[in-house]
């Protein structure tokens, strides 16, 4: 029997793609409406007794050219997707579907570029510059925006439970733009600014989402969202408003992009819109309610521990949340990482094999041919029982201490291991550290303000858990 370089037996990849056209459509309905994402992958993994298998990845016909993928569903095989020498990431950010370039004024944003494309290096260098030059603005911008959000939560709680997501949609967009650009879109564009960003996002990701409204029957939603692309001209007005806002608010950054990184203003502008609105803002829109979900699930005992840690760290920094104070919040950081492990903002990663490959799971090896699309489902890879004990459970202190830190190399939410540093030569999120920072800021503000709170999870809203605050208990001491 043939073996891999590390000595594992090489097996034929199990699974099949079924009947062309019909099977991909059937699988799409299973994925979105009848089984759900997790059970869709789990059922096929169980059926084939393998964590590496062939399957169809929705949305399938007729909206994507080829639904066939090799799925990698364990922590070891998933890592192939982070190796730029083995996989090509050109036009794979949304999987088997590629949005129209008309949504981006005719360009391909950095997320759609492969690492071998020169423009990718220039744009990623620009993104690092953006983050570094605006780092000192993150904490004050967050404090301003989310203090106002919690004021609204308290005011609305007097009459009924408060939906967090609608408030967070506005807050996340205002905070992101204020932190990156020094301008608040709800003040410049108006109260509808975040809705314009959300509508533009929907036009990009509609083929890969479902359950947009409980009032739309699934057959109608599937017909509208998953068969043909929504025409980009329908969102032209929303995008024009974003373009005008970013062009003015980002003037100095755009000058840097042209003078320091050799980018045209057009390419820099539309990448700035994408990085801020699609990457950062959408990530925060999903991250905050996800943290609320797991904190509410954990309950008051964890809340007390977090309050003690956060208040002690802030007290040692003259009563202010600083980078130094955040560095002392080990449990708080672990909570954020555990939430990202269980519910990463982006569920799937994709790439095409650059060459004939051998992919290894924990106990088998498999041959993948050049050009085949590889798909990894992160929530399963990061719930691998061979890596994480009680992998399905939310364990707040999982990443605390030396043993906890050893597990960080299997936390993949940022399109790369938590232990790896983003570079121009990889596809890891350039704002990886900022996301953790913002997650910690959110938890810190929550427990500086409250001793405890209660909230309920009421299904999904686009890509995020829909959360309702039911009660808050004001902090007994600061």
The CATH number covering residue 56 comes to 1.10.630.10
Using a 10 angstrom Cβ sphere, with 0-12 exposed, 13-18 middle and 19 or more buried, the burial of residue 14 is middle
Asked if the peptide bond before residue 451 counts as cis, ω within 30 degrees of 0, the response is no
Residue 246 lies in a domain: yes
Q: What is the pLDDT of residue 180?
A: 97
pLDDT > 90: percent of the chain: 94
> Where is 366: in which H helix or E strand?
strand 365-368
pLDDT at 62: 87
The verdict on residue 243 lying in a domain is: yes
Tell me the per-residue pLDDT of 173-199, one tens digit each, with 9 for 90 and over: 999 999 999 999 999 999 999 999 999
152 has a pLDDT exceeding 70:
yes
Residue 288 pLDDT > 90: yes
How far from chain centre, in Å, is Cα 53?
A: 24
pLDDT band at residue 478, thresholds of 50, 70 and 90? low
Determine the Cα–Cα distance for residues 221 and 225; give it in Å rounded to an integer.
Answer: 6
The pTM is what?
0.96
Is 429 annotated in a binding site? The answer is yes
- In contact, 373 and 392? CB cutoff 8 Å: no
pLDDT of residue 422: 97
CA angle centred on 55, ends 51 and 57, rounded to 5°: 110
Average pLDDT, integer, range 309-327: 96
Mean pLDDT of 332-356: 97
Q: Is residue 32 part of a domain?
A: yes
- Of the pLDDT bands very low, low, confident and very high (cuts 50, 70, 90), residue 329 is very high
What are the φ and ψ backbone dihedral angles of 385, each rounded to 5 degrees?
Answer: -65, -20
Q: Is residue 1 part of a domain?
A: no
Confidence of residue 450 (pLDDT cuts 50, 70, 90): very high
Rounded to whole angstroms, the Cα distance separating 117 from 92 reads: 14
The single-letter DSSP state of residue 428 is: S
Host H or E run for residue 256: helix 251-261
Residue 477, pLDDT > 90, answer: no
> How far apart, in whole angstroms, are the C-alpha atoms of residue 165 and residue 140?
22
pLDDT tens digits, 81-130: 999 999 999 999 999 999 999 999 999 999 999 999 999 999 999 999 99
Average model confidence (pLDDT) for the chain?
A: 96
Other CB atoms within a 10 A radius of the CB of residue 191 amount to 10
Task: Establish if 5 belongs to a structural domain.
Answer: no
Q: State whether residue 375 is helix, strand or coil.
A: strand
pLDDT of res. 4: 85
| Res 6 pLDDT > 90 | no
pLDDT for res 5: 85
Cα separation, 303 vs 292, in Å, equals 11
pLDDT of the residue at 462: 80
Within a domain: residue 440? Answer: yes
Is the preceding peptide bond at 61 cis, omega within 30 degrees of 0?
no
pLDDT at 1 over 60: yes
pLDDT higher than threshold 90 for residue 243 = yes
For the chain, the distance separating the N- and C-terminal CA atoms, rounded to the nearest angstrom, is: 66
Residue 366 domain boundaries: 10-474
Determine the pLDDT at residue 382. 98
CA nearest to 104, candidates 275, 250, 255: 275
pLDDT for res 461 = 82
- Name the helix (H) or strand (E) containing 125: helix 118-134
**Is position 2 within any domain?**
no
Domain count, the chain: 1
In a domain, 235, yes or no: yes
Summarize the confidence of residues 465-476 as an average pLDDT. 95
Question: Is the distance from CB of 149 to CB of 449 less than 8 angstroms?
Answer: no
Residue 126's Cβ-side half-sphere holds a number of Cα atoms within 13 Å equal to 31
């Amino acid at each position: 029997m043939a073996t891999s370089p590390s000595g594992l037996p090489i097996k034929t990849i199990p699974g099949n793609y079924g009947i062309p056209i019909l099977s991909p459509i059937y699988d799409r309905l299973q994925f979105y409406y009848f089984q759900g994402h997790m059970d869709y992958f789990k059922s096929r993994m169980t059926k084939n007794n393998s964590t590496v298998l062939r399957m169809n990845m929705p949305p399938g016909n007729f909206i994507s050219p080829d639904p066939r993928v090799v799925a990698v569903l364990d922590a070891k095989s998933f890592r192939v997707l982070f190796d730029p020498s083995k996989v090509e990431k050109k036009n794979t950010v949304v999987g088997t579907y590629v949005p129209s370039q008309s949504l981006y004024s005719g360009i391909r944003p950095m997320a759609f570029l492969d690492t071998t494309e020169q423009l990718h290096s220039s744009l990623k260098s620009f993104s690092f510059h953006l983050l570094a030059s605006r780092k000192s603005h993150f904490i004050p911008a967050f404090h301003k925006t989310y203090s106002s959000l919690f004021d609204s939560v308290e005011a609305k709680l007097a009459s009924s439970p408060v939906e967090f997501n609608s408030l967070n949609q506005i807050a996340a967009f205002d905070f992101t733009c204020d932190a990156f650009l020094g301008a608040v879109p709800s003040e410049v564009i108006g109260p509808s600014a975040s809705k314009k960003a959300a509508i533009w996002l929907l036009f990009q990701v509609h083929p890969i989402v479902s359950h947009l409204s409980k009032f739309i029957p699934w057959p109608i939603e599937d017909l509208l969202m998953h068969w043909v692309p929504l025409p980009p001209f329908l969102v032209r007005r929303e995008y024009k408003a974003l373009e005008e806002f970013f062009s003015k608010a980002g003037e100095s950054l755009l000058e840097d992009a042209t003078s320091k990184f050799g980018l045209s203003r057009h390419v820099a502008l539309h990448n700035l819109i994408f990085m801020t609105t699609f990457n950062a803002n959408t990530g925060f829109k999903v991250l905050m309610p996800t943290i609320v979900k797991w904190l509410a699930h954990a309950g008051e005992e964890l809340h007390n521990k977090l309050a003690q840690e956060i208040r002690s760290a802030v007290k040692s920094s003259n009563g202010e949340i600083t980078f130094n104070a955040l560095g002392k919040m080990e449990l708080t950081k672990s909570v954020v990482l555990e939430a990202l492990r269980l519910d990463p903002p982006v569920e799937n990663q994709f790439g095409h094999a650059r060459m004939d490959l051998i992919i290894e799971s924990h106990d088998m090896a498999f041959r993948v041919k050049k050009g085949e699309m590889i798909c990894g489902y992160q929530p399963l890879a990061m719930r691998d029982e061979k890596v994480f004990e009680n992998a399905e459970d939310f364990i707040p202190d999982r990443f605390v201490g030396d043993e906890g830190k050893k597990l960080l190399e299997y936390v993949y939410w940022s399109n790369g291991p938590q232990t790896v540093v983003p570079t121009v030569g990889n596809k890891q999120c350039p704002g990886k550290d900022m996301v953790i920072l913002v997650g910690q800021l959110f938890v810190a503000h929550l427990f500086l303000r409250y001793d405890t709170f209660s909230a309920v999870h009421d299904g999904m809203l686009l890509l995020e858990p829909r959360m309702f605050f039911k009660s808050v208990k004001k902090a007994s001491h600061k």
